[in-house]
Amino acid sequence: DIVMTQSPESLAVSLGERATINCKSSQSVLYTSNNKNHLAWYQQKPGQPPKLLIYWASTRESGVPDRFSGSGSGTDFTLTISSLQAEDVAVYYCQQYFSSPLTFGQGTKVEIK
Amino acid sequence: QVQVVQSGAEVKKPGASVKVPCKASGYTFTTYTMHWVRQAPGQRLEWMGWINAGNGNTKFSQKFQDRVTFTSDTSASTAYMELSSLRSEDTAVYYCARALGTSGYLPIDHWGQGTQVTVSS
Tens of pLDDT, residues B27-77: 999 999 999 999 999 899 999 999 999 899 999 999 999 999 999 999 999
The DSSP symbol for B66 reads: T
For chain B, the residues whose C-beta falls within 8 A of a C-beta of chain A are 35, 44-47, 59, 61-63, 95, 97, 100, 104-109, 111-114
- Asked if residue A92 lies in contact with residue A106, where contact means CB atoms within 8 angstroms, the answer is no
Q: Is the pLDDT of residue B107 over 90?
A: yes
The DSSP symbol for A61 reads: P
Which pLDDT does position B22 carry in this prediction? 97
**Do the chains contact at A50 and B44, CB–CB below 8 Å?**
no
pLDDT-derived band at B98, boundaries 50, 70, 90: very high
Which pLDDT does position A79 carry in this prediction? 98
pLDDT tens for A17-55 read 999 999 999 999 999 999 999 999 999 999 999 999 999
The stretch A99-103 carries a mean pLDDT of: 97
Distance CA A39, CA B20 (A): 28
**Do the chains contact at A40 and B62, CB–CB below 8 Å?**
no
CA A84 to chain centre: 15
Which pLDDT does position B8 carry in this prediction? 84
pLDDT tens for A59-88 read 999 999 999 999 999 999 999 999 999 999
**Do the chains contact at B112 and A55, CB–CB below 8 Å?**
no
For chain A, the residues whose C-beta falls within 8 A of a C-beta of chain B are 38, 40, 42, 48-52, 55-56, 61, 93, 95, 97-107
pLDDT tens for B79-88 read 999 999 999 9
Q: Which of A97, A98, A103, A106 is the mutation pick for testing B, counting most B CBs within 10 A?
A: A97
**Do the chains contact at B44 and A55, CB–CB below 8 Å?**
no
Contacts of A92 (CB under 8 A, 6+ apart): A6, A21, A41, A42, A43, A44, A53, A79, A107, A108, A110
Distance CA B61, CA A1 (A): 10
Counted residue by residue, chain A has a size of 113
